Structure 1
Amino acid sequence: IIACGPMVPEAMRAAWILRREFGYETRILNLHTLKPIDEAAIIWAARQTGVILTAEEHQIGALAWRVSNVITGSPLLYGQPVITGAIGVKDR
């Protein structure tokens, strides 16, 4: 789960619930800034897990878009399937 700001504690709580109730191991990546974005950390997480979920405290947008661009633009991930998803507030 990739999050920043106030969503980091929420991501940590989600990871705890996923482990306790479903037995899933989850990693949290705390991005302290979107610009510059920590491309190396995102690529490492994608290579290690194969699954990336971004969590935003507002409508899905900047974080999901930036992370997707890093994943799709990295030669280190060519040929490696990476499942991506995003959660945020519903757009009204």
Structure 2
Amino acid sequence: MTSEATRGLALDFASQIAPAGSIDIRRFFGGSALVRNGAQFGFVMKGTLYLRVDEAMRAEFEADGSEPFSYRAAGREVTVRRYYAVPAHVIDDPALLHS
């Protein structure tokens, strides 16, 4: 997925989450970060929306089969448990994504 396509997808998700213009989209490694009031709360990487989760949200996301963000670095797998992929049924339902 190109950086332009990733940015477009991030803009689409941002418009579903909050009113237009209230979420900034910034470059984030190979993807796009979603930032509100100066704090990053999510990102789009390789076509997947990841959101920052707390303990309660993590349990819900895991129950829905979501995986934490991970990447390979220096020959090993790194898992970032602060960010989880948004479950497919949430992506498919704008009302759930907004809440």
TM-score interval, smaller chain:
0.3 to 0.5
TM-score normalised by the chain length of structure 2: 0.32
Structure number with higher relative contact order (C-alpha < 8 Å, ≥ 6 residues apart): 1
Q: TM-score, normalised by structure 1?
A: 0.34
| The structure with more helix, counted as a fraction of residues | 1
Structure with greater strand share of residues: 2
